[in-house]
Copies of this chain bind each other. A is one copy, B any other.
Amino acid sequence: MQVKLINYTPNPEDAIIKAAANCWQSTPRDEILDLIIKAGHLTPLEFATFNFEVSGVSRALTHQLVRKRVGVGFAQESQRYVKYNENGFEYVTPPRIQNCDKSILYIDKTAHQIYQQAMFIIQVAYEQLVDIGIPAEDARFVLPNACCSKIHVTINYHALFDLAKERLCDKAQWEIRELVAGMKKEVQEISTTLAGYLQPKCYWLQRCPEKRSCGKVGFLCEK
């Protein structure tokens, strides 16, 4: 997975603080950011926007990601128009498949071998369908969730703050958690303050609302 911040509102903290200060006609100053976040007065956070270039993620992830509807925009590589070339499609392998050391009696294969073989057969079927003349938009029906996608994401800081609450949670799907952690890391490069507020929901609630807790209530997500 590659997550790269390729464009953003210059001086994002400043952009947010200026907007917030306008509400009370007060002087823009650094403490305002902390005040509004703690008070839940989050609209000014929308005055800073970040554009990310994301690649090497599965379409399982993107299907979940594009469910976010507010404060966010997507531009995703289309499987209708883009035909995979002779090198075939790339795919994501979940760590629990890659590192699984269990085996079962009736087949003499690791989870990873089963997985790789399935990917190979899918690739062959996709190519045969395209060769027969099936359009890419139909041939892609055989392609797996694992298939890599490239997606550009524009997200304002209010939406990113909300996304972090849900997706930095230990119960979130591993791949999307890794994506949001990657976004946080990129934001860190330009503002440690803004990155610092990107935390799972239990950090703000000081309790875990999940049915089965991970047991680390209120943990700080460092990276």
Contacts and interface: CB of A to CB of B under 8 A. Distances in A.
27 contacts: A7-B15, A7-B47, A15-B51, A19-B73, A20-B75, A22-B76, A23-B81, A24-B78, A38-B209, A39-B210, A43-B73, A49-B156, A58-B141, A79-B145, A91-B141, A94-B134, A96-B138, A97-B139, A100-B132, A100-B134, A102-B132, A104-B131, A109-B128, A114-B129, A122-B144, A144-B144, A205-B205
Interface string A56-94: 001110110011011001111111111000000001111
A61 to B, nearest CB: 10
A208 to B, nearest CB: 10
B142 A82 contact: no
A22 B88 CA distance: 18
Task: Say what secondary structure dominates the interface of chain A.
Answer: mixed
A33 to B, nearest CB: 13
Interface string A119-146: 1011001001101111101111111111
Contact of A111 (B103, B132, B146, B154): B132
Number of chain A interface residues as a range: 35 or more
Contact of A114 (B6, B35, B58, B125): B125
A19 B134 contact: no
A209 B97 contact: no
A183 interface: no
